[in-house]
A and B are shown apart, each in its own frame.
Chain A
Amino acid sequence: MMYTQKIAILAKKELRDAFSSPLIYILAGLFSLMMGWLFFNYLLQSKEMTTTTMTQGVIIPIFGNINFIFIFLCPLITMRSFAEEKKQHTLDLLLRSELTEMQIILGKFISNVLMVFFMLSLTLLFPVILAFSGYSDWGVVGSSYLGIALSVMAYTSVGLFCSSLTDNQIVASLLTFCILLGSMLLVISVNATNNYIFALMIQYMTIPFHYEGFTKGLIRSYSFVYFISFLAFFFLLTLKSLQSRKW
């Protein structure tokens, strides 16, 4: 009980801090503008293409785009978490406190994920609009949201790690962006190899591969294993990075 309470205290403070600064609102505004515009276009297109379903014409591409845009937005949200603390000299305040390093990481992770979820919640309007036109394939919508939730959690964990490496927010966000984009490009470079097993292994390592399953309505247990181990790996890296201040 005590353990989670302390995490909650930190997460609450982080959230209050984030929602009292304009960055999150600017990002949320830009995000909903872009997504709304894309959604509108997909809707118009699907009207012309009578052979495809709503799911294939609207839901799958729009969630593909949401995922892609979060590769740009997540780094901007997570960049400040440790970099700013370092710059303000407040990281030592946290490290000296009763909070363990893991509690600090989890508190920051939860608050950052909630910020991303806040932005994501703005897209809930799309299925509502589709429902008015008689759309009823809620299974795909549900699994897509599950997929995007896991996906942004993975992005956030990368962002936290990069932020813990530097006291410069721009460096932190660029580094996160590079890692995430690199992971995306990995899936393309798989085409270059003729070794089938190797290609499968590489494919398994990338986030988009697992995410795609969710957008098609496929909930595969190994994707959960992948995301959980992905988070654990980056938490471990962040933990080591925080502890390295004591080396």
Chain B
Amino acid sequence: MPENQTPDTIAGPAESAALASELFADGVGAQAGPPTTPAEGTGGPAGAHSHGGPAPTGSPAERFTSTDPDDFPVVTGREEEWRFTPLKRVRTLLEGAASGARLEVETDLPAGVELTTVGADDPLLKGLPEPVDRLAALTRVNAGGATVVRIPAEAQLDRPVTLSMRGSGAADVVWGMTVIEVGAFAEATVVLDHSGRANYSGGVAVVVGDGARVELVSVQDWAPGAVHGGQYDAVVGRDATYTQVVVTLGGDLVRLVSNVDYTSTGGTADLSGVYFADETQHQEHRLWVDHSTPNCTSNVVYKGALQGEQAHTVWVGDVRIRPAATGTETYELNRNLVLTDGARADSVPNLEIETGEIVSAGHASATGRFDDEQLFYLCSRGIDAETARRLVVRGFFADVVQKIGVPALADRLMGSIEQRLGALPGLEEQEHPEGELQPA
């Protein structure tokens, strides 16, 4: 892929110790910009890559949280966490009007799994991580309680827990809150499968018990016109493994904020995402992994493809390693494949390291055009352009899609992506920027 690639890896304690001491020298303080804060006004046209500018912006080292919407100023669009979002298109959500509208939910619950609802005052909700922005706080209030999925300790489920959530097309905002409680040493896969049309703002919290292994798959296969905002929180217990796969394909606008906290040592969080933005779609994924305890691991891989005028994707990956988080191992990667002119992918990795005693920390971000040389290579073997394109895109997403622990779902999503590739121009009709290939 011809692209701007910036793999930054800070490997090994010695090197990062030096880096940390440089960054957090006297008079600099923990609030200083991390080595990888992006420059202001990052993003730009397709192929541009926001990275490593000297201006200290990006996310603040401390993030304000509250359950009260009024603790957050009314969103203007100038805030760091809203600056990429076309506010017009989320206005109905941000207005925050209460409503009784709901998604139609179909559930598939393996034996032993309990589905209940709790009221707004339930202690369960009080113990969850707090909302990080105004929309999430509005959601917590307006949802008026939560749907709770309980997976008992040491459970071994025979199939995934599935909540199919369908929008009926009503104009009223649907507010929702889903809590997934997983007991110690349980192993479970939970699928949230969103479809239909809705203005939906949904909070999701996954509480992963000690030693549990949980995969949450959230599919945004919305119909055109749907708007979806959401805050996903994972609280990862001691020696627990949390895997999250976010697949965003449909809807007019999707903006998901995924946060990870560790309650103790030895936790692992593996966050993956696949997104495909067509003409005019806005897909925004923000991640915040907060390493505050020793010996935890996080791995973030998000891959996106964009095609058509005004397709816009945003990926912001924040990883913070606090002073107590010794022995941390973290890596984050975002790659974007721009299939046609006129699409824009913003990619902003942020890594803040406050201790030198870590195993490794790194990130990479790359945005590239569809590689004509790959197409040419495949076509020169007799493979028609459409099949070649499918192979390349399938290959691009393969490693992330393989993480979905539900093969039928993985096939369905890959099929849906392939279907949308049909409208691309042929190899000969595309523009060929100079300098990509220089045969002697």
A in complex with B: no
| B interface with A by C-beta (< 8 Å) | none
